[in-house]
């Protein structure tokens, strides 16, 4: 993470961190509710950012082997809605506590670093 990005993340006030924590808690509860639905299909655009997001989500969930890389030509990525909401709640909760996101796997970090090197 660049110094500029790190500085931007650390500027959350205690009130903003509290709001982030509340949002994370609400999303966590909503994730459980979604998990009880019969159909959890959700599609997100196939972008490098979303691929990295899903890689990190599976790493955090303890099932990195379940990450299914997109095939060439795929315009969208499948992700269960409850899984995505759970992951977002975890990321927001982390932001509220730490003020700076951390990469959870070397694989996800290497994807980001390679992309930053291209930019």
Q: What is the mean pLDDT of the chain?
A: 78
Establish if 79 belongs to a structural domain.
yes
Residue 77 predicted with pLDDT over 50: yes
What b/e sequence results for 26-54 when a residue is b if at least 16 CB atoms lie within 10 Å of its CB, and e otherwise? ebbebbeebeeeeebebeeeeeeebbbbb
Establish if 21 belongs to a structural domain.
no
DSSP 76: E
Residue 99 predicted with pLDDT over 60: no
Count of structural domains within the chain = 1
Summarize pLDDT for 11-31 with one digit per residue, the tens.
Answer: 788 888 888 888 888 888 888
Residue 98: which domain range? 47-119
Residue 81 predicted with pLDDT over 90: no
Establish if 6 belongs to a structural domain.
no
Establish if 3 belongs to a structural domain.
no
Establish if 1 belongs to a structural domain.
no
Establish if 32 belongs to a structural domain.
no
> Quick one: which H or E segment has residue 91?
helix 81-98
Establish if 87 belongs to a structural domain.
yes
Summarize pLDDT for 53-72 with one digit per residue, the tens.
Answer: 999 999 988 999 999 899 99
DSSP 58: H
Collapsed DSSP state (helix, strand, coil) of residue 60: helix
Sorting pLDDT into bands at 50, 70 and 90, what band is 40?
confident
Q: How far apart (Å, rounded) are the C-alpha atoms in residues 38 and 52?
A: 27
Establish if 85 belongs to a structural domain.
yes
């Amino acid at each position: 993470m660049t110094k500029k990005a790190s500085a931007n993340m650390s500027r959350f006030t205690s009130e903003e961190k509290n709001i982030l924590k509340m949002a994370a808690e609400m999303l966590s509860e909503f994730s459980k509710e979604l998990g009880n639905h019969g159909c959890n299909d959700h599609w997100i655009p196939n972008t490098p950012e979303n691929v990295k997001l899903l890689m990190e989500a599976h790493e955090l969930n303890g099932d990195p082997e379940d990450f299914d890389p997109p095939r060439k030509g795929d315009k969208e990525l499948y992700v269960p809605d409850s899984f995505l909401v759970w992951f977002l709640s975890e990321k927001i909760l982390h932001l509220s506590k730490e003020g700076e996101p951390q990469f959870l796997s070397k694989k996800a970090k290497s994807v980001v670093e390679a992309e930053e090197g291209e930019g």
